[in-house]
């Protein structure tokens, strides 16, 4: 799964979908919770990090969300 994160880092403007985000999260022990109660944003985070990220379900996902996801995954990797 490091491959998908590396591709996201190199090309945040790609045609990324929420399925790609879920795959990247699963590969790094992060959670990606679907919207509840009629919402439209997935909640992404790591149990040991205080920072959470909300990503809209729209396709394609905007580059700013991909950049933030890559940074969050990097922070999770840096944990001891």
Mean pLDDT for the stretch of residues 4-31: 94
Q: Return the percentage of the chain with pLDDT > 90, whole number.
A: 79
> For the sheet containing 52-56, what is the strand order?
31-33, 41-45, 52-56
Mean pLDDT for the stretch of residues 51-80: 93
We find that the CATH architecture of domain 2-77 is 2-Layer Sandwich (3.30)
Alpha carbons 29 and 36: distance in angstroms, whole number: 21
Q: pLDDT tens for residues 18-43?
A: 999 999 999 899 999 999 888 889 99
Burial of 38 (0-12, 13-18, 19+ CB in 10 A): exposed
Task: Locate the domains of the chain by residue range.
Answer: 2-77
Q: Are 55 and 42 in contact (CB under 8 A)?
A: yes
Measured between alpha carbons, how far apart are the two ends of the chain, in Å?
Answer: 20
């Amino acid at each position: 799964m490091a491959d998908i994160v590396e591709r996201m880092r190199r090309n945040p403007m790609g045609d990324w979908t929420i399925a790609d985000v879920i795959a990247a999260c699963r590969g790094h022990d992060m959670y990606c919770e679907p919207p509840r109660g009629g919402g439209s944003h997935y909640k992404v985070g790591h149990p040991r990090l205080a920072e959470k990220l909300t990503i809209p379900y729209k396709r394609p996902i905007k580059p700013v969300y991909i950049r933030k996801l890559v940074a969050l995954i990097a922070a999770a990797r840096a944990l001891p």
